[in-house]
Amino acid sequence: MADASAASSTGIEIRHLYKLFGPTPDKFMQAVRDGMSKQELRDVHGHVLGLRDISIDMPPGGIQVVMGLSGSGKSTLIRHINRLIDPTAGEVVVQVDGRAVDVVQMKPAELLRFRREQTAMVFQKFALFPHYTVLENAEYGLQVQNLPGRKRREQALHWIERVGLKGYEDHYPNQLSGGMQQRVGLARALTNDAPILLMDEAFSALDPLIRSDMQGILLDLQQEIGKTIVFITHDLDEALRLGDRIAILRDGEVVQQGTGQQIVLQPADDYIASFVRDVNRGRVIRCRTLMQAGPPVEGPSVDASLVIEEAARLLSAEGLEMANVVNSKGKVLGTVTMADIIAAMVPPRTEASPVA
């Protein structure tokens, strides 16, 4: 089964990553570094700018969301982590048990081993083998690693059950709904027991209710497995729900990165402000952000990490105006008021134009 402590020792550092698509990308690297626009590179020189100077630290054991609209470079970026795409310049450094390894410099045999043992990928289109059963699909990664059949089956059955597919082991993909097929894809990735899980628009093809259910399953599993997860999405609500940290891309560049709270409360520019304008702030902002120092009050206690929407619901149910904010050990850190919660739920006025 997955070893959360082992998985959480692996982090990813992307350093000054560039990707130019075209016949002679190296010829234009310096011009791009000096600020040549994406349009000029394409229209005048016949090359496409995929990524420009991307630097993101992805801490071990967390969910790093990379989001952006179509063409922003997010799927190109995730494919650099397991080097399905070679960069034009830059580093992808993976910290494995304290040892730094640059994926870009790996020799073919080392890269193959890294892909098989250190990473697993979940795709938007499921990518299941239609002639394999659910069990056979889930076992596939371990089969490639030449693990004994009994061990493969044991691990696969465990994760099939954990994603809610017990009883479907002998079914084929065409006998399953889209949501069930994606559960098979997730079970396959988890069975592989790799410390890095790459998820490229994994839930985007699912209906909203099934998508929300899959998000919940992922969050529940992450409490158990502690993988380093890189999750690609174009949906801000999904990013805010899943991401410990979020990086927003536009035209191959990072526009802003940070926690969901930081992005919602402190958008870097009008482009980001237009993204977050319609966000339900009550589901993003935490009580610790609004709490004021002071002595305990007569009222309920809420965890500092609780979103303010839940705190408001609790105060409303009890007909009270203030709550104590406590840490995980129950120590009072301060107080939060209903008035402050209501004010925080209203987004500030912005002149930001709609996202194109």
| pLDDT of res. 342 | 93
The total number of residues shown for the chain amounts to 356
User: What percentage of the chain exceeds 70 in pLDDT?
Assistant: 95
Q: What are phi and psi of 243, to 5 degrees?
A: -80, 130
Assign 224 a pLDDT band (cuts: 50, 70, 90).
confident
Q: Are strands 253-258 and 245-250 parallel, antiparallel or unpaired?
A: antiparallel
Residue 75: CB partners within 8 Å, gap ≥ 6?
A: 200, 201, 232
| 5 — pLDDT class (breaks 50, 70, 90) | very low
Residue 348: the pLDDT is 66
Sign of CA dihedral 299, 300, 305, 306: negative
pLDDT at 2 over 50: no
Contacts of residue 245, defined as CB under 8 A and 6 or more positions apart, other chains included, come to 58, 59, 62, 63, 64, 65, 257, 258, 259
pLDDT in tens, 301-353: 999 989 999 999 999 999 999 999 999 889 999 999 999 999 998 876 655 44
How far apart, in whole angstroms, are the C-alpha atoms of residue 92 and residue 159? 29
Q: Torsion over CA of 265, 270, 275 and 276, rounded to 10 degrees? A: 20
**Domains (range + CATH), the chain:** 4-8+60-87+108-276 (3.40.50.300), 285-345 (3.90.1280.20)
Read off the DSSP letter of residue 292: B
**Tens digits of residue pLDDT in 88-133:** 999 999 987 678 999 999 999 999 989 988 999 888 777 889 999 9
